[in-house]
Structure formats: C-alpha cells, structure tokens
Amino acid sequence: MPEPEIDTSVPHSARIWDYWLGGKDNYPVDREAGDAVLRVLPVIADSAKQDRAFLGRAVRFLVSQGIRQFLDLGTGLPTVDNTHEVAQRVAPESRIVYVDNDPLVLAHARALLTSRPEGACDYIQADIRDTPAVLAEAARTLDFERPVALMLLGVLNHILDDGEARRLVADLLRGLAPGSHLVISHTCDATTGELDGEAMRRAVREVMERGGTPIRARSPEEIAELFTGTRLLDPGVVSCSRWRPDPSPWREPEVPHFSGVAVL
C-alpha cells in the first residue's frame, strides 16, 4: 500500500487535538492553530483530556452492560487508552472496528490493531458518511445480529448540516441490533456559569479561517437531537467531565465538549 499523502500546509483537527493532548503527531501549522484557539478558549486543552477520560468511562460502562462489540467512527490519532485497550482490559474477547479517512490515522493504524488474541481489531479507511460501505466492511469483524456500541466521539461536529448529521446517525442505527448503544461527544457552544459559548464560536472561526477541518459547535439541545430513536441514559447530555465521573471530593468543572450515552 502506498504511503498516504499528508498535507502539512493547513491545520487538521485530529493533529490539533493530538497537540492539546500532549502528543507528537502534529506539525507547526497544527501547533500554531492550537495555540491560537487556546488564546481564545484556554479551557479547550482540558476539554480534550476530559473527552479522552469520558471515552474510558463510557467503554467500561458498556462492557459492564455486556457489550463486547464496538464500532468507533472518526477514530482520530492513536493515543493512550484507545477503545480496544479499555474494552479488552476488562473483557479480552471484545471486538473493535475503527473507521477514519484521515491519511495520518491510516499511517498509524497498526497501533490500533494490537488486539488481545481472545478478541479482534480491524481498521477501515472510509468516509463515515458512506454508511453502507462502513457497515459492510465492519461486518467482517462484528456480528450485527448482536448488540454493538456505536462510538461517535468528536466526529459529528465535522458534519456542519444538522439534518445530515441526524440522518447519518439514523442510518447507522438502522444497521444495529436492539440493545446496542450510541455514544456521542461533541463540541458545544453552551453558555453557562462556567462556559462562554461566544468564546467557543470564536475558536471555531479561528480554525476555519486558517483553512482547518470544518467544524460546528452545537448546543446541548441540538446534540440531544442526535440521539433521536434511542433512550438517553442518565445523566443525559452533559459536559463530558460530568458524565458519570469517577468518585471525587470535588465537582468536575464543565468543559465545552458535551456527551451522552443511549441504548437502542
């Protein structure tokens, strides 16, 4: 397979996210864009870390509910505690399929395929909007007659049209068995006592004006609409830092990345 072409002349959301997480798979243009966003929205780096922590808590919860299959769309760059690592640490027989169309993710896909022998991992290079192809390819590894966890973390915010985002989720859910779960995290422009929605909107414009990956922040109510056709579990759509946080004497601060988990 030829080496994927990686454009280092414009910032890319996955590489900016990697920079905020302290990773090394980024370029000067990504760091410049990331720093520009930090000047407008300093909380965004903490938001990236909280979103990663949410992934771990959500996957552990799903495993506790008997889920052993995961379809992770918009995978992003491999980092610490990817979906398969969290799931197989608790249930080694878990099967995971990652989907992304970022050439840099493809270049690092081997890191996503280190499955334990009892389970399985696969990586599909595809546009997540091509749902028939995604489901057909994923069926090589996953049994769609049994429940699957559909993971959409930090990816629907790249689909700017609300109707298209809702249709994508609905199309994917139609391919899943009852008892499947839907997990979403999404950039949020809520204004609360702790969050400045206008600062988030300025940060989005900053990335877009630099030629970066198109991105859309949505309100908590708009994010909740993405769960149409499922039953949202408590505590609903909240800051990812406050979705069933680990026990602590301190209340987790809100971050501008909201999340939820639902059952089909």
Q: What pairing do the DSSP bridges indicate for beta strands 95-100 and 149-153?
A: unpaired
Q: Is the pLDDT of residue 47 over 50?
A: yes
Q: 93-134, pLDDT tens digit by residue?
A: 999 999 988 777 777 777 667 888 999 999 998 889 999 999
What global pTM score does this model have?
0.90
Q: Is the pLDDT of residue 66 over 60?
A: yes
Q: 186-196, pLDDT tens digit by residue?
A: 999 999 989 98
Say how far apart CA 175 and CA 184 lie, in whole Å.
17
Three-class DSSP category at 206 = helix
* Enclosing H/E stretch for 263: strand 257-263
Rounded to the nearest 10 degrees, the angle between the axes of helix 162-174 and helix 131-138 is: 30
